[in-house]
């Protein structure tokens, strides 16, 4: 479904939300039929119900990338108890106290990237100079990736999220990334350096997690741990610049940024392709019976625009107080790194507009290339001046 406005989901989704029941749709990549979930309440029902499986290998699962099973440790494609066991290994790393300890590191990286962008002069591409490298540097520092290998990680993780690249090529790149992480894990086992990867290796036996599963978790963190944040920074900057009155409030009172971020994540849900599930039993949702073995696609961006939950949902309003959004998912698979993501967004956006109060887009909105061709929505490039 194509967008007609780059800041809003496809209009057909609003039409589907007005229907009394959920709908069956055909997927363009394999011609299969699935249930499409567009309403907030129905989305919460599916995402919390363990009768809807995230297991990639189950018959009927709407698999977009490949039918090849995910590797060990890929807990976003698993169900409890394995999903709970593997996810639990990461819980201590993303608690509030730990994220608060990381804030000085995040601020240091933000300042360095802005120093470099400002030194090169205006105009600049905010995505290339700031939005993409920020979460990438943070996740590689957390994992303890040596500086000389970071370019490899940057290139491979970008290729994995590019829909214009063939499935076979993406899987080849993913295999190369995993092989490199195997070497990194071996290095951390021999010489722990106090980073996130070293710490989870030290805890893995007590958590009954294998070495191969740790490699899979590290791979998942590299792929999923930065692209969503990078895209959110880019599109959020663009939205803020489109609302100068509210942006002026944020500049005057940076403490308002927490509420602004919740609204940005609701209004600009970058996980554009949705959350996929397959029913393991017959379950009734939204007035329809979903039978065991039938695929389900939950469109988070549509649920976050549900008129029954969010008044005037297409309007961006940082004073809305919309903390019940589904921008970080819901239920057992809710994003474990959401506190870290929020911290990155808050520090990045507050610092950006504090240091560059006259920041503006250097072109028209019509000329900004949006990421409709990627698994994560956002903008490919954002030329700015200051």
- Please indicate whether residue 161 or residue 342 has the higher confidence score (pLDDT): 342
Task: Reply yes or no on whether the pLDDT at 127 is more than 70.
Answer: yes
Q: Say what the pLDDT of residue 301 is.
A: 95
| CA nearest to 386, candidates 123, 56, 85 | 123
Average pLDDT, the chain: 91
Domain spans, the chain: 11-378
Q: pLDDT-derived band of residue 296, with 50, 70 and 90 as boundaries?
A: very high
pLDDT of residue 68: 58
SS3 for 245?
helix
Highest averaged pLDDT of the listed ranges 126-130, 193-197, 210-214, 333-337: 126-130
Distance CA 346, CA 257 (A): 6
Of the ranges 163-167, 313-317, 351-355, which one carries the lowest mean pLDDT score? Answer: 163-167
Q: What is the pLDDT of residues 258-282, one digit of tens each?
A: 999 999 999 999 987 789 999 999 9
> Which residues, 6+ apart, have CB-to-CB distance to 125 below 8 Å?
381, 382, 383, 384
In order, the DSSP letters of 169-234 are HHHHHHHHHHHHHHHHHHHHHHS--SSHHHHHHHHTTTTT--HHHHHHHHHHHHHHTTHHHHHHHH
How remote is the C-alpha of 385 from its chain's centroid?
27
Instruction: Give the H or E element holding residue 276.
Output: strand 275-279
Residues near 102 by beta carbon (within 8 Å), at least 6 away in sequence: 138, 142, 340, 343
Which of the pair, 134 or 150, is modelled with greater confidence?
Answer: 134
Beta-carbon count within 10 A of 26 CB: 10
- The most confident of 62-71, 142-151, 210-219, 336-345, by mean pLDDT: 336-345
- In this structure, the number of other CB atoms found within 10 A of the CB of residue 335 comes to 18
Confidence of residue 284 (pLDDT cuts 50, 70, 90): very high
- In terms of DSSP bridges, do strands 295-298 and 275-279 run parallel, antiparallel, or are they unpaired? antiparallel
CA dist., res. 386 & res. 382, Å (int): 13
Range in 44-53, 156-165, 267-276, 293-302 with the lowest mean pLDDT: 156-165
Tell me what the mean pLDDT of segment 104-110 comes to.
Answer: 98
The rounded distance, in Å, linking the Cα atoms of 45 and 286 is 9
The pLDDT assigned to 29 comes to 74
User: What is the C-alpha separation between 344 and 238, in angstroms, rounded?
Assistant: 17
Looking at the predicted structure, is the pLDDT value of residue 66 above 60?
Answer: no
Q: How confident is the model at residue 64 (pLDDT cuts 50, 70, 90)?
A: low
Q: 4 with 294: CB under 8 angstroms?
A: no
**CATH no. for 11-378:** 1.10.630.10
Whether 65 has a pLDDT exceeding 70, the answer reads no
Pairing of strands 383-385, 124-125: antiparallel
Q: Report pLDDT for 138.
A: 94
**In the chain, where does DSSP find H-type helix?**
11-17, 40-48, 82-90, 96-120, 126, 133-143, 150-160, 167-190, 196-203, 211-224, 227-241, 244-252, 257-267, 300-303, 338-355
What are the pLDDT digits (tens) for 142-190?
999 888 888 877 777 767 656 666 777 777 877 788 788 888 999 999 9
286 neighbors 42 (Cβ within 8 angstroms): yes
The reported pLDDT for the residue numbered 346 is 98
Taking only the tens place, the pLDDT of each residue in 236-254 is 999 999 999 999 999 999 9
Q: How confident is the model at residue 227 (pLDDT cuts 50, 70, 90)?
A: confident
User: What interhelical angle do 133-143 and 196-203 show, nearest 10?
Assistant: 40
- Better-predicted residue by pLDDT, 241 or 62: 241
């Amino acid at each position: 479904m194509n967008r007609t406005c780059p800041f809003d989901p496809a209009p057909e989704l609003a039409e589907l939300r007005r229907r009394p029941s959920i709908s069956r749709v055909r997927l363009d990549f394999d011609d299969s039929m699935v249930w499409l979930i567009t309403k907030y309440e129905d989305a919460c029902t599916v995402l919390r119900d363990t009768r809807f499986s995230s297991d990639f290998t189950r018959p009927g699962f709407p698999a977009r990338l490949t039918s090849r099973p995910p590797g060990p440790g890929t807990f976003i494609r698993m169900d409890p108890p394995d999903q709970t066991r593997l996810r639990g290994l990461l819980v201590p790393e993303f608690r509030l106290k730990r994220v608060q300890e990381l804030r000085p590191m995040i601020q240091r990286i933000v300042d360095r990237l802005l120093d470099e962008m400002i030194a090169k002069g205006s105009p600049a591409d905010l995505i290339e100079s700031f939005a993409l490298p920020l979460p990438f540097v943070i996740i590689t520092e957390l994992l303890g990736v040596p500086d000389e290998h970071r370019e490899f990680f940057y290139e491979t993780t970008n290729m994995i999220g590019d829909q214009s690249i063939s499935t076979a090529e993406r899987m080849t790149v993913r295999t190369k990334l995993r092989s490199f992480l195997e070497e990194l894990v071996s290095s951390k086992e021999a010489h722990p350096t106090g980073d996130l990867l070293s710490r989870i290796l030290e805890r893995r036996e007590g958590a009954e997690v294998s070495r191969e599963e740790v490699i899979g978790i590290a791979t998942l963190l590299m792929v999923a741990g930065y692209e969503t944040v990078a895209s959110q920074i880019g599109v959020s900057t663009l939205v803020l610049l489109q609302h100068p009155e509210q942006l002026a409030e944020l500049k005057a009172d940076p403490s308002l940024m927490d509420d602004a971020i919740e609204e940005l994540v609701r209004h600009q849900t970058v996980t554009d392709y949705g959350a996929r599930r397959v029913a393991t039993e017959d379950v009734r949702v939204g007035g329809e019976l979903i039978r065991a073995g039938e695929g389900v696609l939950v469109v988070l961006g549509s649920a976050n625009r549900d008129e029954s939950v969010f008044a005037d949902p297409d309007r961006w309003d940082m004073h809305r107080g919309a903390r019940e959004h589904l921008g970080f998912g819901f239920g057992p698979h809710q994003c474990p790194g959401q506190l870290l993501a929020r911290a990155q967004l808050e520090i990045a956006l507050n610092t950006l507009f504090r240091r560059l109060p006259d920041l503006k887009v250097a072109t028209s909105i019509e000329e900004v290339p949006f990421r409709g061709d990627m698994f994560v929505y956002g903008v490919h490039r954002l030329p700015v001046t200051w």
